[in-house]
C-alpha cells in the first residue's frame, strides 16, 4: 500500500501518524534552535529541552520498528507500547502541546509552531477515536507486518 492509498482510506489515525512525524521534525528542529538561543530566558531553554525530549518520544511512538532495533530499556518500551489506542495517543499529543503552549507564558518563541502541529495531531487522533476508527499504522513507517519481519 502506497502513501497515496493510505491517505485515500480517510482514516484519521493515518493522518495523525503522518502529522506526528511532522511534529517530531518540528520539535527536534525548534528544540535545538531555542536551546542555543543564549539571549532568551533560562526557563525557555528548559522548554526547548522538553521539546527535544518530545521529539524522541514521538519517534518511538510513531515508528514502532525502532523499538525492536534500538537498544532501549524495557520500562521505556512498555510505556510506549501502552500508548496504543487513538484516545491515548490524542492525550499524549495534547499533553506535549500543552507543555509547549506553556512556554509562551515566559516569552514568545518559535516553540508555538510545535505546539500548533502537536495540537493538530491530537485532534486527528481524537477524531479517529470519536469516529470509531481502529488505529492503523502506516506501512511506510514500520507498522502492520514490517516490525514482525525483524526478529
Q: What is the pLDDT of residues 99-136, one digit of tens each?
A: 999 999 988 888 999 999 999 999 999 998 888 877 77
- The total number of structural domains that make up the chain: 1
pTM: 0.84
- Tens-digit pLDDT profile for residues 39-50: 767 888 899 999
- pLDDT number for residue 23: 94
Residue 14 in this model has a pLDDT that exceeds 90: no
Q: What is the DSSP string of 55-91?
A: HHHHHHHH-THHHHHS---HHHHHHHHH--SHHHHHH
Q: How far apart are the first and last CA of the chain?
A: 23
Q: Which residues, including other chains, have CB under 8 Å from residue 106's CB and lie 6 or more apart?
A: 41, 43, 44, 47
Give 65 or 24, the one with higher predicted confidence: 24
Residue burial 17-29, b: 16+ Cβ < 10 Å; e: rest = bbbbbebbebbbb
Could you tell me if 119 and 104 are in contact, meaning their C-beta atoms sit under 8 angstroms apart? no
- pLDDT number for residue 85: 84
Could you tell me if 20 and 56 are in contact, meaning their C-beta atoms sit under 8 angstroms apart? no
% of the chain residues with pLDDT over 90: 40
Alpha carbons 66 and 51: distance in angstroms, whole number: 20
Average pLDDT, whole number, for the chain? 82
C-alpha cell recorded at residue 87: 484516545
If you average pLDDT over residues 8-22, what whole number do you get? 82
Q: Which residues constitute the domain of residue 113? A: 3-149
Amino acid at each position: 500500500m502506497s502513501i497515496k492509498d493510505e491517505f485515500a482510506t480517510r482514516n484519521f489515525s493515518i493522518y495523525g501518524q503522518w502529522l506526528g512525524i511532522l511534529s517530531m521534525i518540528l520539535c527536534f528542529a525548534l528544540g535545538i534552535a531555542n536551546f542555543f538561543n543564549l539571549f532568551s530566558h533560562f526557563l525557555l531553554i528548559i522548554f526547548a529541552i522538553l521539546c527535544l525530549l518530545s521529539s524522541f518520544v514521538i519517534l518511538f511512538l510513531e515508528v514502532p520498528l525502532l523499538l525492536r532495533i534500538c537498544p532501549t530499556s524495557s520500562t521505556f518500551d512498555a510505556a510506549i507500547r501502552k500508548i496504543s489506542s487513538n484516545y491515548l495517543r490524542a492525550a499524549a499529543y495534547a499533553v506535549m502541546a500543552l507543555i509547549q503552549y506553556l512556554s509562551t507564558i515566559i516569552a514568545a518563541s518559535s516553540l508555538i509552531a510545535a505546539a500548533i502541529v502537536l495540537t493538530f495531531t491530537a485532534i486527528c487522533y481524537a477524531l479517529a477515536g470519536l469516529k470509531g476508527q481502529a488505529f492503523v499504522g502506516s506501512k511506510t513507517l514500520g507498522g502492520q507486518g514490517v516490525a514482525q519481519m525483524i526478529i
